[in-house]
Each structure stands twice: as C-alpha cells, then as structure tokens.
Structure 1
C-alpha cells in the first residue's frame, strides 16, 4: 500500500460512505486520481466491495526505543582528544522506531508503542514518525523527562568509531501501561521489540503476548543482550550480531563451526529463527528444523552511515514474513535493505521501498 493509498484507506475507514469527490477535496487531488487509487486498493484486496467495505489489515506492533540520532562523520582519520572536521546531521532514531519506519516505507501497516519525554526532541520524533506513516497514537509521554537521544561518531569510511545513548525514559515503560494497549498488541500479526526495554517488560511481552503472537527481538548491544539470556527460548526470531550471539549463547565464536554451535545452543532453548549479522560477510541464518544458510551480497566500496543497516535488515525480515517470502528470498531482501540503509547519510533512507531493494538485488546479488 502506497502512502497515498494509505491516506485514502484511512479516510474511508472513518467515513465508509464518503464520495470520491469529497476524498479528492480533503487530499487536494483530482477525483480521477482518487478513483485510480481506490481501484488499486480493490485490486490489492483492501476494499472488498460497494460501500467501501474494508478488509482489516494485518499489522505489526513495535514496542521499544524512539530517540533523536545525532551523527558526526569525520572527513579524515579521527584524532582523539581533538576537534575533528566533519559533517553533522540529526534525525529520529531508536532501534524499534527505525524498524517501524522502514516497515512503513515498505508499505507494511505498523503501530509504534514507545516512551517520549516532553521536550523538543519528542516533537521531532513524533513529527518524523507521523510523516513516515507510522501510527504513533499509542505511545506514552513522561512529563519533566528528556526524550531518548543517541550520538555517534563515524570515521571517514562511515563506520562507527564510538557512540553513546541516553534511553532512560524507556525505563518508565511498564506492563501496567502496556495492559492499556492490550487490544492493539494482541491484535498484531507480529511484535517487534528491542532489548533496551526493562527486563520485566521484555519478559512480560513474551509471557502475555508471545505465546500467541511471534515476537522478533534485536539485542541492540552486548550490554542489553545480557537481558535475553534467561528468556531467549520464548522469542520467535532473534537478530544479533556475532558478539551479541556470544553473550546470549555463552559460546565464543572463532569459526563457522562455532557460529553454528552458538546458534544451535539458542535454538535448543526454544528460539525458532536466528539471523546473525556478519557485517561485510553477510548473514548466517538457522532455524529449529536444522536449516542453515549463509548469504551475502557484493559489498559496498563506501558506506555513508552504518548505523541503520541492522534496523533495515530486521524490517525487511518482518516484511518478508508478512508477505510470505521463502527463506532465501527473505535473506536476499533483508541484506539488500541493509545496503539501502547504509548508502544514505541519515539513519533511515527516505527512498526505502520494495522497488529500491529489488534494484539493489539486481546490482549486488552474488
């Protein structure tokens, strides 16, 4: 569903008997354009008949971090304890928020539940999420508290040199608040979270909702990955990097044999799918049925910003499950989404789309 189709769908949802001319007036477009979009919605199965009977869409709920990302990319080798010339930019970020935005840009309906402060950063996050097509209406606001922020310093190649985050506002989220959103969460096709959430919330989501709804989790960092060690068996899909896999599994990884053993340890605990990010080497996938696949694309010569690659990858995995791609297609699609993300200066590539990913696949498939 395109952004314009989504706008028309939501208008029809609110007013099922509305005339096409009134929709055109609301959106400042022609009636003939509205007719074309409605015809497309009918072809896609979102509008089922006369009177605009709507099909309820499968949607994804994201529960986790949303913050403002501030990036500085050095023009030359970084000198420590000195001012380094570079380029700066800021945008809305946070792992679960980033996954949600990438999903929205791919055309998947997504609702984000996060915690914001009451400052100017909250306004930036809210504005960028809404503009991207994320349903942001279910998040909480913590008064007299700063919103989450993340700052990263990138080297001259666009790779992370050092980063720091303040996500303390997310610790204000608890299961009592999530119970007020129970209908939204339990109605989701999939749930995606990040390990920045409080431990009791991660466990609560898995216990209350995870038995019926598959939960996808990004460990985020080695520090946060520690939280997942006792509960990883309740997770449907995990997307760690190599170091996070070591932390959660307790297996040191020095070879491909170690990689498989670490994944096997986690799958034996009850985890169903694991996608281990290997950086420029691609990704290693394994599931409980014993399927093992290692995939890669032709590497980029130059990255603009490595920060958002993993989030785009996770979004593409979720999208692939939503549209029922087979696993090899899923891996290619997710890897290409990661390439699309790191090719852009900000955390999110505003051009992210199914068409962009397919184009990248044509250029970079091995």
Structure 2
C-alpha cells in the first residue's frame, strides 16, 4: 500500500460515508485521483464497498482554531525590552486542535470543524490530524490563505509574557458553513468551542446546538466573543485574568475566584472552571464548589493547560463522573500538560489521567 493509499484509507475508516470530493479536498488532489486510489484499495482487498453507518458513533465535535505556534523561552527572567538568550520552538497548536488531540489521547473520538490554509502548515495539520486519529472531514481548507500562526514568549518557568496571533482565517468558519454541519454537531455527545471563532458564528452555535456546549475562553481580546448568549454554556473554562475582565472581580485567591464563579453562574453558565496561575483551580456550579491549591512542582509550560482541562472535563462527563471527580479530572489534566514543553503532553492518556485523579485524593 502506498502512503497516499494509507492516508485515504485512514480517512475512510474515520468516516465511512465520506465522499470522493471530500477526500479530494483533504488530500489536495483531484476527485479522479481519489477514485484511482480507491480502485487500487479495492483491488488490494482493503476496501470491500462503501460503508453504511446505521447508528452514529459516539463522538465529541470541536469547533475552533488551528495554529502553527512559534514559542520563545527565555533562558533568564525577562525584566525589560532587551534581547535574551533562550530557545525557540515551532509546534502545531491552536486551542481547538489541542482540545481535539487531548480528547483522542483520552480515548474520545473527536470530530474537528476548523479552517486551515493550503500552505505547508496546512499540510502539516492534515498529517497531524491523521496521526492523532482526529476526523477533519468537516474542516475547511481555504485556497490562497495561510494557516493561522501564534507567536508567544515565555519566562523560564513557563509564564506567558506576550503573544501575537495571525488568525484571520477563522473568519471562514461562518454561520452558513456551520449550518452545513448542523446534523454532525447535534449528533455529538457534546460540543466544545473556543473564543477564536467569530462572534456571529458563536451566536449561531448558541442558537442551534442542542447538545451540551463546553467553551474555552482564549485571551482577553477574544473572550467577549462568548459573552452574548453565555447562559447557553454548560461548562466554561477560563483563566483568572479572563474571568476578572468578564466579571469585574479581581481574582487573587479562592475567595475572589468563588465570587467570580458565582457571578458567571448567575449569568447562566452551569459549570465554571477557573485556573489561577501559581494559586490554584476552582470548579463550581450552583450547588457545589471545590478549590485545589496549586501543588504542581514540575511546571515547565502553561500553554495548553486550559485546552487539556476542557478535554478532561468532557471525558469525565462522558464517563458519568460526579462533581468532585470531574473537577479532579480537569485539575489533573492541567498538571499533566504543564509538565511538558509542548501544549499537548504526548504522555496524556485516560490511564494517566485516572492515576493523577486518584493522587489528588491523597
């Protein structure tokens, strides 16, 4: 089997009802080229015929962003605008993509609705999705547009100094585009979104998605994209700075975090997960709250912690875990993520997550 045939076969396994036109778009070749590859796969015995899906498989749909992340880590603490020696890394990321990869590592099938370019970074994304068993048959490759990029600089201990994003391609995720995938969205067990999406598209999702909606706030400039209709959210994952700006309550500790969460719950959010760097994590709903002081000793990088948390909270929901165990899943995922240099820890798994959940009992 050729590498292209292997690629097409994997996409067919992910979505047995995928059309040749959709395969052509994913592969970046003509429909007739896809037909030739499928004919070869049939001749070789890998495909017996077109699949028929009787009962939709259990899955979570993620709607969000893809980025090529460029990360600079200073070797010494940054105190002014001078040049600093350090390390520079280039990694595929994006909140939506990171959520989808974490879900896959936790054993949850992710469908990913996103926009990406027809550049080399877009090809890297497709290869990455295939390697991580992420179904991108509903994602959209945009001709003559670059895949979005995110440039950020961290202190040696992992705290973010500044970030610059070039994510205009997300404007292609329009309400009209989402409308064409409404059935996929509402056949999901739940849907996860991030605030990189255009405000009008988030509003459409609020009005048309009928399954539970989880959201990850992304940055103080895009966080407000979630605001109108926020009462539609089942679960909101947000950091202290974002929650402070949204609620006008300065979050410094457990007490102020609870005040901010109470404010958000009063606006209609069912569950709130707030993480405060170097302080702790709060999970709260109208009836219960639990706070975990920050005990992580091996933090190396805070990028990706929120994405892993929302994936773990979704995993816990699908496994019918109670309030406390769900909170521990989110906390455990953040700890696992911060222990790796990348935004997704390659070691993430359901077994590791459960082990770290149990460790929080001690």
Q: Which TM-score band applies after superposition, normalised by the shorter structure?
A: 0.7 to 0.9
- Deviating more after overlay: 234-243 vs 276-285: 276-285
Residue deviations 1:112-139 (CA, integer Å, cap 9, x gap):
0001111111111121122111101111
1:329-340 equivalent positions in 2, closer than 5 A: 329-340=325-336
- Match in the other structure for 2:289: 292
Whether 1:200 and 2:224 are equivalent positions in the alignment is no
- Match in the other structure for 1:236: 234
Cα gap change, 1:306 to 1:257, in 2 (>3 Å): closer
Cα gap change, 1:12 to 1:305, in 2 (>3 Å): closer
SS in 2 for 1:141: strand
Shift in Å at residue 110 of structure 1? 0.6
Q: Is the Cα–Cα contact under 8 Å of residues 229 and 249 in structure 1 kept in the other structure? A: no
Distance 1:260 1:81 in 2: 36
Shift in Å at residue 79 of structure 1? 6.3
Whether 1:259 and 2:250 are equivalent positions in the alignment is no
Q: Is the Cα–Cα contact under 8 Å of residues 197 and 225 in structure 2 kept in the other structure? A: no
SS in 2 for 1:150: strand
Cα gap change, 1:11 to 1:253, in 2 (>3 Å): closer
Structure 2 stretches lacking a partner, 5+ long: 1-9, 18-41, 47-52
Distance 2:56 2:183 in 1: 14
Whether 1:349 and 2:345 are equivalent positions in the alignment is yes
- Match in the other structure for 1:125: 125
Whether 1:303 and 2:321 are equivalent positions in the alignment is no
SS in 1 for 2:71: strand
Shift in Å at residue 296 of structure 1? 4.0
SS in 2 for 1:128: helix
CA RMSD of aligned residues (A): 2.7
Aligned length: 324
Q: Is the Cα–Cα contact under 8 Å of residues 310 and 338 in structure 1 kept in the other structure? A: yes
Cα gap change, 1:337 to 1:259, in 2 (>3 Å): closer
1:325 corresponds, among 315, 321, 336, to 321
Distance 1:295 1:183 in 2: 38
Structure 1 stretches lacking a partner, 5+ long: 1-6, 15-21, 27-52
Q: Is the Cα–Cα contact under 8 Å of residues 67 and 147 in structure 2 kept in the other structure? A: yes
- Deviating more after overlay: 132-141 vs 258-267: 258-267
Shift in Å at residue 322 of structure 1? 0.8
Shift in Å at residue 361 of structure 1? 4.2
- Match in the other structure for 2:30: none
Q: Is the Cα–Cα contact under 8 Å of residues 15 and 135 in structure 2 kept in the other structure? A: no
1:215 corresponds, among 213, 216, 236, to 213
Q: Is the Cα–Cα contact under 8 Å of residues 105 and 133 in structure 1 kept in the other structure? A: no
1:1-366 equivalent positions in 2, closer than 5 A: 10=13, 56-78=56-78, 80-209=80-209, 212-254=210-252, 256-288=254-286, 290-296=287-293, 298-300=295-297, 302-361=298-357, 366=362
